[in-house]
Amino acid sequence: MNRLLSVVSTILLAAFAFPAASAFSDCVPNDTELGPFNPPTFSSTVVNSTTFYSLLPPSPTPLPLLVFMHGSTGQWDFYNESLSFISTHGFAVVFPFVKSPSKDKSPFTTNTDGTYLLKAIQYAKEQNADPNSDMYKKIDVETVIIAGHSMGATCSINAATSYPSASAVVAMHPGICGPFGPPPCPSCWRSDDLAGVGLNMPVIFTTATNDGAFWPAPYTAKHELGCYLKAFGEDDDGEWEGEDSVFVQFNDEVCGEDGEREPVVKDGGHNCPMKNMEGGKPEMTLLLKAAKLYGHMEGDKESKCYGLIYGEEDVEGSLLQLNQTDVLEFRV
């Protein structure tokens, strides 16, 4: 009995000696390798007529939740390799559909208000609480990263507005801010909403110089930057009171067309997040770094994850050092 007690207390001590964050490793500069949480199990479930795809890798402890919303006409196949890759680094991923995997391929299936990302969070919470679910007690539903691409990025900003306890939002190539958009409001997002989001959680906002989705390139990126500056101010005057935020405009070299997804879709410019080589460089690996920083490392400013995103030119592998961007704006 004594011996058992001592074994139990040793285990307890061991458990308390390391904070939960130590279950996860720090970022590495070239994060193109699969992570240790492998392989993720894919599942497709329909709840209340909404389809949710999910990836849950094996893990001894509950994993943070990443909800990711596709762009207009977006398909799981455009993102699945990168999301699977991110999942192996220690994330439960839930990917909602508006109508269904086949109907969402139509340009007439749209949603911009964040509803489906919020449903995805709700879905994960319900699965996590359901003893009959494979996801029972496997998801850390208090740690949620909200992300999306294009239409899904607009959704991510709007979902974050009504989910202030999220750990971060990663908006990749959202529509242009309202009221005029494109797309015009009410299908837009608003700079003052993003400013409010930025008080509650870190914001990672990406675009590319050769993004021609909403205005001919390079004006889409210029408008995106204008929206960011409208939300977070013209410069970091040292009085920043929000959470960390960054605007990343990748250059046309790193977001150039590589033909990898031809003939189904082009993966340059606006569709740079659809790149799937080397973990989805450069955008999906930035999503990984951000998800790890805020989902695994609690935003630790001493972490490599932090240095890779916000570090100076002398930090190996930092955004500033890599010269992959035309514009980088930080508020930290």
Does 115 interact with ligand NAG (rule: CB under 6 A)? no
The residue (of 177 and 274) whose beta carbon lies closer to ligand NAG is 274
Of residues 25 and 321, the one with the C-beta less far from ligand NAG: 321
* Residues 66-95 interacting with ligand NAG (rule: CB under 6 A): 77, 80-81, 84
Strand residue runs (E) in 209-288: 245-250
Q: Give Cα 250 distance to the centre of its chain.
A: 16
Which listed residue (15, 34, 47, 264) binds ligand NAG by CB under 6 A?
Answer: 47
For ligand NAG, the closer CB: 127 or 220: 127
C-alpha–C-alpha distance, residues 113 and 154, integer Å: 7
> Hey, what are 265's tokens?
């879709």
Which three-class secondary structure state does DSSP give residue 84? helix
Could you tell me which of 105, 111, 99 has the C-alpha nearest to residue 52?
99
**Residue 297 carries which side chain, given as an amino acid letter?**
M
Least distance CB 155 / ligand NAG (angstroms): 16
DSSP state of 11: H
Which is closer to ligand NAG, CB of 159 or CB of 171? 159
Q: How far is the CB of 21 from ligand NAG (least distance, A)?
A: 25
63-69 and 203-208 strand pairing: unpaired
Task: Work out how close the CB of 85 gets to ligand NAG at its nearest, in angstroms, rounded to a whole number.
Answer: 8
Q: Which residues contact 179 (CB under 8 A, 6 or more apart)?
A: 185, 188, 190
d(CA 23, CA 89): 11
> Under DSSP, is residue 55 helix (H, G, I), strand (E, B) or coil?
strand
Query: Binding string to ligand NAG for residues 120 to 159, with x set by CB under 6 A, is what?
Result: --xx--x---------------------------------
Site for ligand NAG in 249-278 (CB under 6 A): 278
Q: Which position among 9, 10, 30, 44 is part of the footprint of ligand NAG (CB under 6 A)?
A: 30
Contact call for residue 38 and ligand NAG (CB under 6 A)? no
Q: What are the residues binding ligand NAG (CB under 6 A)?
A: 30, 32-33, 47-48, 77, 80-81, 84, 119, 122-123, 126, 278, 321-323
